[in-house]
Amino acid sequence: MTPPFRRHVLYLPGFDPIPPRRYRELYRREAADQARISGHRLRITKAEAQGFAWAVHGRVEGHDTRTVIEVALWSDIVQASMRQGIIGTFGQLVRTAWTYIATGALSRLMRLRRGPVIAALYPIAVLLAQLMLALLAGALAGWAVAALGGGWLGLPVALAAIWGVLVLGRRLDGRLFAYYLMHDYAFTAQHRGAYPAALEDRLTAFRARLQAILDDGPDEVLVVGHSSGAYLAVSLLADHLRAGGADPRLSLLTLGHVVPMASFLPDAGRLRDDLAFLGCADLFWLDVTAPGDACCFALCDPVAVSGAGDPDQRWPLVISAAYTHTLSPERQAALKNRWFRLHFQYLCAFDRPGDYDYFAITAGPQTLAQRFAGRKPSPGRITRPVGAR
Protein backbone atom coordinates (compact mmCIF):
# COMPACT_ATOMS: atom_id res chain seq x y z
CA MET A 1 0.00 0.00 0.00
CA THR A 2 1.39 3.38 -1.03
CA PRO A 3 1.91 5.63 2.00
CA PRO A 4 0.18 9.02 1.90
CA PHE A 5 2.07 12.03 0.59
CA ARG A 6 3.24 14.04 3.62
CA ARG A 7 3.51 17.81 3.58
CA HIS A 8 4.12 20.46 6.22
CA VAL A 9 2.97 23.99 5.45
CA LEU A 10 4.49 26.88 7.42
CA TYR A 11 2.12 29.80 6.90
CA LEU A 12 3.24 33.40 7.52
CA PRO A 13 0.23 35.74 7.76
CA GLY A 14 0.31 39.41 6.96
CA PHE A 15 -0.07 42.28 9.43
CA ASP A 16 -2.92 40.74 11.39
CA PRO A 17 -3.67 41.04 15.14
CA ILE A 18 -6.36 38.34 15.00
CA PRO A 19 -5.71 34.99 16.77
CA PRO A 20 -4.56 32.21 14.43
CA ARG A 21 -7.72 30.15 14.84
CA ARG A 22 -9.22 32.52 12.27
CA TYR A 23 -6.99 30.92 9.64
CA ARG A 24 -7.96 27.41 10.69
CA GLU A 25 -11.66 28.19 10.47
CA LEU A 26 -11.16 29.94 7.12
CA TYR A 27 -9.36 26.86 5.80
CA ARG A 28 -12.02 24.51 7.18
CA ARG A 29 -14.89 26.46 5.60
CA GLU A 30 -13.27 27.13 2.23
CA ALA A 31 -11.81 23.61 1.94
CA ALA A 32 -15.33 22.21 2.21
CA ASP A 33 -16.46 24.46 -0.65
CA GLN A 34 -13.47 23.60 -2.84
CA ALA A 35 -13.88 19.90 -2.11
CA ARG A 36 -17.48 20.04 -3.29
CA ILE A 37 -16.48 21.93 -6.46
CA SER A 38 -13.31 20.02 -7.36
CA GLY A 39 -14.03 16.54 -6.01
CA HIS A 40 -11.43 16.62 -3.24
CA ARG A 41 -12.01 14.69 -0.04
CA LEU A 42 -10.63 16.71 2.86
CA ARG A 43 -10.98 16.17 6.59
CA ILE A 44 -9.61 18.66 9.13
CA THR A 45 -8.38 17.53 12.55
CA LYS A 46 -6.14 18.80 15.32
CA ALA A 47 -2.45 18.40 14.57
CA GLU A 48 0.35 17.26 16.82
CA ALA A 49 2.69 20.18 16.20
CA GLN A 50 4.73 22.63 18.25
CA GLY A 51 2.78 25.76 17.34
CA PHE A 52 -0.81 26.49 16.33
CA ALA A 53 -1.57 23.95 13.61
CA TRP A 54 -4.18 21.68 12.09
CA ALA A 55 -4.01 18.50 10.03
CA VAL A 56 -5.62 17.89 6.66
CA HIS A 57 -6.34 14.30 5.71
CA GLY A 58 -6.97 14.24 1.98
CA ARG A 59 -7.91 12.14 -0.98
CA VAL A 60 -6.93 14.48 -3.80
CA GLU A 61 -6.37 13.65 -7.48
CA GLY A 62 -6.59 9.95 -6.70
CA HIS A 63 -3.99 9.91 -3.92
CA ASP A 64 -4.01 9.91 -0.13
CA THR A 65 -2.30 12.88 1.51
CA ARG A 66 -1.52 14.12 5.00
CA THR A 67 -0.72 17.79 5.55
CA VAL A 68 0.07 19.76 8.68
CA ILE A 69 -0.58 23.48 8.35
CA GLU A 70 1.19 25.55 10.99
CA VAL A 71 0.83 29.30 11.52
CA ALA A 72 4.10 31.15 12.13
CA LEU A 73 2.83 33.56 14.77
CA TRP A 74 3.81 37.21 14.93
CA SER A 75 0.37 38.60 15.83
CA ASP A 76 1.70 39.60 19.27
CA ILE A 77 4.20 41.93 17.57
CA VAL A 78 1.34 43.34 15.48
CA GLN A 79 -0.82 43.85 18.57
CA ALA A 80 2.01 45.65 20.38
CA SER A 81 2.50 48.01 17.44
CA MET A 82 -1.21 48.88 17.45
CA ARG A 83 -1.32 50.14 21.04
CA GLN A 84 -1.61 53.72 19.94
CA GLY A 85 -4.35 56.01 21.10
CA ILE A 86 -6.16 58.45 18.86
CA ILE A 87 -3.50 61.14 19.17
CA GLY A 88 -0.71 58.60 18.68
CA THR A 89 -2.34 57.32 15.50
CA PHE A 90 -2.52 60.81 14.05
CA GLY A 91 1.15 61.15 14.89
CA GLN A 92 1.78 57.94 12.95
CA LEU A 93 -0.12 59.42 10.03
CA VAL A 94 2.21 62.42 9.84
CA ARG A 95 5.41 60.39 10.23
CA THR A 96 4.37 57.67 7.77
CA ALA A 97 3.23 60.10 5.09
CA TRP A 98 6.46 62.06 5.47
CA THR A 99 8.58 58.90 5.21
CA TYR A 100 7.00 57.72 1.96
CA ILE A 101 6.88 61.19 0.39
CA ALA A 102 10.29 62.52 1.46
CA THR A 103 12.16 59.35 0.46
CA GLY A 104 10.53 59.25 -2.97
CA ALA A 105 9.03 55.82 -2.24
CA LEU A 106 5.47 57.03 -2.86
CA SER A 107 6.23 58.40 -6.32
CA ARG A 108 7.97 55.16 -7.29
CA LEU A 109 5.09 53.06 -5.96
CA MET A 110 2.65 55.03 -8.12
CA ARG A 111 4.62 54.00 -11.20
CA LEU A 112 3.68 50.38 -10.53
CA ARG A 113 0.06 49.94 -9.49
CA ARG A 114 -2.44 52.60 -8.46
CA GLY A 115 -4.66 50.18 -6.50
CA PRO A 116 -2.35 49.47 -3.54
CA VAL A 117 -1.24 53.12 -3.46
CA ILE A 118 -4.88 54.19 -3.19
CA ALA A 119 -5.29 51.58 -0.45
CA ALA A 120 -2.31 53.14 1.34
CA LEU A 121 -3.78 56.64 0.99
CA TYR A 122 -7.23 55.50 2.15
CA PRO A 123 -6.53 55.57 5.92
CA ILE A 124 -4.89 58.99 5.60
CA ALA A 125 -7.93 60.36 3.78
CA VAL A 126 -10.41 58.82 6.24
CA LEU A 127 -8.52 59.96 9.34
CA LEU A 128 -8.10 63.50 8.00
CA ALA A 129 -11.81 63.58 7.12
CA GLN A 130 -12.63 62.53 10.68
CA LEU A 131 -10.36 65.26 12.02
CA MET A 132 -11.98 67.90 9.81
CA LEU A 133 -15.44 66.73 10.86
CA ALA A 134 -14.37 66.85 14.51
CA LEU A 135 -13.04 70.39 14.16
CA LEU A 136 -16.24 71.46 12.43
CA ALA A 137 -18.36 69.89 15.17
CA GLY A 138 -16.23 71.61 17.78
CA ALA A 139 -16.54 74.99 16.10
CA LEU A 140 -20.32 74.66 15.79
CA ALA A 141 -20.71 73.49 19.38
CA GLY A 142 -18.52 76.32 20.70
CA TRP A 143 -20.40 78.89 18.61
CA ALA A 144 -23.76 77.59 19.79
CA VAL A 145 -22.75 77.84 23.46
CA ALA A 146 -21.34 81.33 22.94
CA ALA A 147 -24.50 82.43 21.11
CA LEU A 148 -26.59 81.26 24.05
CA GLY A 149 -24.52 83.41 26.39
CA GLY A 150 -22.34 80.63 27.70
CA GLY A 151 -19.20 82.71 27.39
CA TRP A 152 -16.03 80.83 28.28
CA LEU A 153 -17.95 77.52 28.49
CA GLY A 154 -17.81 77.43 24.70
CA LEU A 155 -14.16 76.29 24.75
CA PRO A 156 -14.55 73.11 26.84
CA VAL A 157 -17.75 72.27 24.97
CA ALA A 158 -15.93 72.68 21.67
CA LEU A 159 -13.05 70.47 22.86
CA ALA A 160 -15.52 67.85 24.10
CA ALA A 161 -17.27 67.82 20.71
CA ILE A 162 -13.96 67.44 18.88
CA TRP A 163 -12.92 64.54 21.09
CA GLY A 164 -16.34 62.91 20.87
CA VAL A 165 -16.27 62.81 17.08
CA LEU A 166 -12.74 61.37 17.09
CA VAL A 167 -13.74 58.70 19.62
CA LEU A 168 -16.76 57.81 17.48
CA GLY A 169 -14.50 57.43 14.43
CA ARG A 170 -12.22 55.12 16.41
CA ARG A 171 -15.17 52.99 17.52
CA LEU A 172 -16.39 52.67 13.94
CA ASP A 173 -13.04 51.29 12.76
CA GLY A 174 -14.38 47.75 12.74
CA ARG A 175 -16.14 48.88 9.56
CA LEU A 176 -13.80 51.56 8.26
CA PHE A 177 -10.39 49.90 8.94
CA ALA A 178 -8.67 53.30 8.80
CA TYR A 179 -6.84 52.91 12.11
CA TYR A 180 -5.91 49.31 11.31
CA LEU A 181 -4.42 50.21 7.93
CA MET A 182 -2.65 53.23 9.40
CA HIS A 183 -0.96 50.98 11.97
CA ASP A 184 -0.03 48.55 9.17
CA TYR A 185 1.73 51.13 6.99
CA ALA A 186 3.27 52.85 10.02
CA PHE A 187 4.80 49.55 11.14
CA THR A 188 6.67 49.27 7.84
CA ALA A 189 7.60 52.94 7.66
CA GLN A 190 8.72 53.27 11.27
CA HIS A 191 12.18 51.86 10.51
CA ARG A 192 12.18 53.01 6.86
CA GLY A 193 11.93 49.43 5.59
CA ALA A 194 14.30 47.78 8.08
CA TYR A 195 12.97 45.01 10.32
CA PRO A 196 12.59 45.99 13.99
CA ALA A 197 14.57 43.92 16.49
CA ALA A 198 11.47 42.02 17.68
CA LEU A 199 10.72 40.89 14.13
CA GLU A 200 14.34 39.87 13.50
CA ASP A 201 14.19 37.75 16.65
CA ARG A 202 10.97 36.16 15.47
CA LEU A 203 12.49 35.36 12.07
CA THR A 204 15.35 33.62 13.88
CA ALA A 205 12.81 31.52 15.77
CA PHE A 206 10.97 30.74 12.53
CA ARG A 207 14.22 29.54 10.96
CA ALA A 208 14.83 27.13 13.84
CA ARG A 209 11.27 25.87 13.49
CA LEU A 210 11.69 25.43 9.74
CA GLN A 211 14.78 23.29 10.27
CA ALA A 212 12.93 21.16 12.82
CA ILE A 213 10.13 20.60 10.32
CA LEU A 214 12.59 19.52 7.64
CA ASP A 215 14.26 17.16 10.11
CA ASP A 216 10.89 15.47 10.65
CA GLY A 217 11.11 14.17 7.07
CA PRO A 218 7.94 15.20 5.17
CA ASP A 219 7.82 14.85 1.39
CA GLU A 220 7.42 18.62 1.00
CA VAL A 221 7.88 21.63 3.25
CA LEU A 222 5.92 24.52 1.78
CA VAL A 223 6.44 28.02 3.15
CA VAL A 224 3.46 30.27 2.37
CA GLY A 225 3.56 34.04 2.86
CA HIS A 226 0.46 36.19 2.40
CA SER A 227 0.42 39.98 2.00
CA SER A 228 3.24 41.45 4.14
CA GLY A 229 3.95 37.90 5.26
CA ALA A 230 5.30 37.38 1.75
CA TYR A 231 8.41 39.46 2.33
CA LEU A 232 8.92 37.88 5.75
CA ALA A 233 8.85 34.49 4.03
CA VAL A 234 11.47 35.74 1.56
CA SER A 235 13.79 36.80 4.38
CA LEU A 236 13.15 33.58 6.31
CA LEU A 237 14.13 31.39 3.37
CA ALA A 238 17.06 33.58 2.37
CA ASP A 239 18.46 33.23 5.91
CA HIS A 240 17.85 29.48 5.86
CA LEU A 241 19.53 28.92 2.50
CA ARG A 242 22.51 31.13 3.33
CA ALA A 243 23.10 28.93 6.37
CA GLY A 244 23.43 25.93 4.07
CA GLY A 245 19.85 24.79 4.31
CA ALA A 246 19.21 24.00 0.63
CA ASP A 247 16.77 21.09 0.35
CA PRO A 248 14.82 19.86 -2.71
CA ARG A 249 11.76 19.30 -0.50
CA LEU A 250 11.53 23.02 0.29
CA SER A 251 9.45 25.48 -1.75
CA LEU A 252 7.93 28.94 -1.41
CA LEU A 253 4.47 30.27 -2.29
CA THR A 254 3.81 34.01 -1.95
CA LEU A 255 0.26 35.32 -2.23
CA GLY A 256 -1.05 38.87 -2.71
CA HIS A 257 2.35 40.38 -1.96
CA VAL A 258 2.95 44.01 -0.96
CA VAL A 259 6.75 43.74 -1.17
CA PRO A 260 7.34 47.21 -2.73
CA MET A 261 5.71 48.93 0.25
CA ALA A 262 8.78 47.82 2.23
CA SER A 263 11.49 47.24 -0.39
CA PHE A 264 11.19 50.74 -1.88
CA LEU A 265 12.04 52.37 1.46
CA PRO A 266 15.65 53.51 1.90
CA ASP A 267 16.65 51.27 4.83
CA ALA A 268 15.22 48.06 3.35
CA GLY A 269 18.67 46.91 2.23
CA ARG A 270 18.26 43.63 4.12
CA LEU A 271 15.05 42.84 2.26
CA ARG A 272 16.45 43.85 -1.13
CA ASP A 273 19.50 41.65 -0.55
CA ASP A 274 17.20 38.76 0.41
CA LEU A 275 15.14 39.27 -2.75
CA ALA A 276 18.28 39.30 -4.90
CA PHE A 277 19.59 36.15 -3.23
CA LEU A 278 16.32 34.22 -3.43
CA GLY A 279 15.75 35.26 -7.04
CA CYS A 280 18.80 33.20 -8.02
CA ALA A 281 18.50 30.44 -5.41
CA ASP A 282 17.98 26.73 -5.91
CA LEU A 283 14.40 26.90 -4.66
CA PHE A 284 11.06 26.76 -6.44
CA TRP A 285 9.21 30.01 -5.76
CA LEU A 286 5.70 30.67 -7.08
CA ASP A 287 4.19 34.14 -6.70
CA VAL A 288 0.42 34.49 -7.14
CA THR A 289 -1.45 37.79 -7.31
CA ALA A 290 -4.54 39.04 -9.13
CA PRO A 291 -5.41 42.38 -10.75
CA GLY A 292 -8.78 42.06 -9.02
CA ASP A 293 -7.02 42.39 -5.66
CA ALA A 294 -6.51 46.14 -5.24
CA CYS A 295 -4.53 45.65 -2.03
CA CYS A 296 -1.59 43.88 -3.69
CA PHE A 297 0.98 44.71 -6.35
CA ALA A 298 -0.61 42.47 -8.95
CA LEU A 299 1.74 40.69 -11.36
CA CYS A 300 4.70 42.78 -10.17
CA ASP A 301 7.79 40.58 -9.98
CA PRO A 302 8.88 41.43 -6.40
CA VAL A 303 12.57 40.88 -7.17
CA ALA A 304 12.73 42.79 -10.44
CA VAL A 305 10.59 45.81 -9.52
CA SER A 306 12.59 46.27 -6.31
CA GLY A 307 15.74 46.68 -8.39
CA ALA A 308 17.12 43.43 -6.98
CA GLY A 309 17.10 41.43 -10.21
CA ASP A 310 20.12 40.53 -12.31
CA PRO A 311 20.75 38.45 -15.47
CA ASP A 312 20.85 35.25 -13.38
CA GLN A 313 17.43 35.77 -11.83
CA ARG A 314 15.26 32.64 -12.00
CA TRP A 315 12.47 33.30 -9.52
CA PRO A 316 9.72 33.86 -8.76
CA LEU A 317 7.39 32.34 -11.31
CA VAL A 318 4.75 35.08 -11.41
CA ILE A 319 1.21 34.01 -12.26
CA SER A 320 -2.26 35.49 -11.88
CA ALA A 321 -5.11 34.00 -9.89
CA ALA A 322 -7.25 35.57 -12.64
CA TYR A 323 -10.37 36.31 -10.63
CA THR A 324 -12.34 37.23 -13.76
CA HIS A 325 -11.86 33.68 -15.05
CA THR A 326 -11.66 31.59 -11.88
CA LEU A 327 -14.67 33.13 -10.15
CA SER A 328 -18.14 32.96 -11.68
CA PRO A 329 -19.96 36.22 -12.47
CA GLU A 330 -22.24 35.52 -9.53
CA ARG A 331 -19.29 35.09 -7.14
CA GLN A 332 -17.60 38.20 -8.53
CA ALA A 333 -20.78 40.20 -7.97
CA ALA A 334 -21.00 38.94 -4.39
CA LEU A 335 -17.40 40.03 -3.72
CA LYS A 336 -17.59 43.39 -5.50
CA ASN A 337 -16.10 46.21 -3.40
CA ARG A 338 -15.20 43.79 -0.60
CA TRP A 339 -11.52 44.70 -0.80
CA PHE A 340 -10.31 42.80 2.25
CA ARG A 341 -12.17 39.66 1.24
CA LEU A 342 -10.67 39.87 -2.26
CA HIS A 343 -7.21 40.20 -0.68
CA PHE A 344 -7.83 36.89 1.10
CA GLN A 345 -9.35 35.12 -1.92
CA TYR A 346 -6.05 33.26 -2.53
CA LEU A 347 -6.81 31.27 0.64
CA CYS A 348 -10.40 30.58 -0.42
CA ALA A 349 -12.37 28.40 -2.80
CA PHE A 350 -12.71 29.22 -6.50
CA ASP A 351 -15.91 28.06 -8.16
CA ARG A 352 -14.20 27.97 -11.58
CA PRO A 353 -10.71 26.89 -10.53
CA GLY A 354 -7.79 27.08 -12.95
CA ASP A 355 -4.31 25.80 -12.25
CA TYR A 356 -4.20 27.76 -8.97
CA ASP A 357 -6.12 25.83 -6.32
CA TYR A 358 -4.90 26.56 -2.79
CA PHE A 359 -6.34 23.31 -1.46
CA ALA A 360 -4.81 21.12 -4.17
CA ILE A 361 -1.49 22.88 -3.56
CA THR A 362 -1.59 22.46 0.22
CA ALA A 363 -3.34 19.08 0.41
CA GLY A 364 -2.60 17.45 -2.95
CA PRO A 365 -0.07 14.74 -3.90
CA GLN A 366 2.37 16.91 -5.89
CA THR A 367 5.06 19.30 -4.77
CA LEU A 368 4.72 22.91 -5.84
CA ALA A 369 7.51 22.41 -8.39
CA GLN A 370 5.81 19.35 -9.86
CA ARG A 371 2.41 21.02 -10.05
CA PHE A 372 3.71 24.08 -11.91
CA ALA A 373 6.48 22.45 -13.95
CA GLY A 374 6.59 24.04 -17.39
CA ARG A 375 4.18 26.83 -16.41
CA LYS A 376 5.03 30.13 -18.11
CA PRO A 377 4.76 33.48 -16.30
CA SER A 378 1.57 35.42 -16.85
CA PRO A 379 1.94 37.69 -19.90
CA GLY A 380 1.03 40.77 -17.87
CA ARG A 381 3.99 40.34 -15.53
CA ILE A 382 5.74 43.63 -14.64
CA THR A 383 9.53 43.43 -14.35
CA ARG A 384 10.79 46.98 -14.85
CA PRO A 385 13.05 48.04 -11.94
CA VAL A 386 11.34 50.94 -10.18
CA GLY A 387 12.86 50.68 -6.69
CA ALA A 388 16.59 51.41 -6.57
CA ARG A 389 18.94 49.07 -4.70
Q: Is the CB of residue 233 less than 8 Å from the CB of residue 254?
A: yes
Give this prediction's pTM. Answer: 0.94
Cα separation, 228 vs 249, in Å, equals 24
Architecture of domain 5-71+195-372: 3-Layer(aba) Sandwich (3.40)
Is residue 289 within a helix (H) or strand (E), and if so which, with residue range?
strand 284-289
Number of Cβ within 10 Å of residue 117's Cβ equals 20
C-beta of residue 306 within 8 angstroms of C-beta of residue 385: yes
Beta bridge partners of 223: 10, 252
DSSP 8-state class, residue 265: S
Q: One digit per residue, pLDDT tens: the chain, 389 residues? A: 678 999 999 999 999 998 889 999 999 999 999 999 999 999 999 887 777 999 999 999 999 999 999 999 999 999 999 988 899 999 999 999 999 999 999 999 988 888 888 888 889 999 999 999 999 998 898 888 877 766 667 778 888 989 999 999 999 988 888 999 999 999 999 999 999 999 999 999 999 999 999 999 999 999 999 999 999 999 999 999 999 888 999 999 999 999 999 999 999 999 999 999 999 999 999 999 999 999 999 999 999 999 998 888 999 999 999 999 999 999 999 999 898 899 999 999 999 998 999 999 999 999 999 999 999 999 999 999 986 54
- Please tell me the number of Cα atoms within 13 Å of 187 on its side-chain side: 24
Residues in the chain: 389
Can you tell me the distance from the alpha carbon of 98 to that of 189, in angstroms, rounded to the nearest whole number? 9
Strand order in the sheet with 317-320: 41-46, 52-60, 63-71, 5-12, 220-226, 250-255, 284-289, 317-320
Q: Is the dihedral of CA 48, 49, 54, 57 positive or negative?
A: negative
Angle at 99 between CA 310 and CA 193, to 5 degrees: 45
Parse the chain into domains and list their residue ranges.
Answer: 5-71+195-372, 80-190
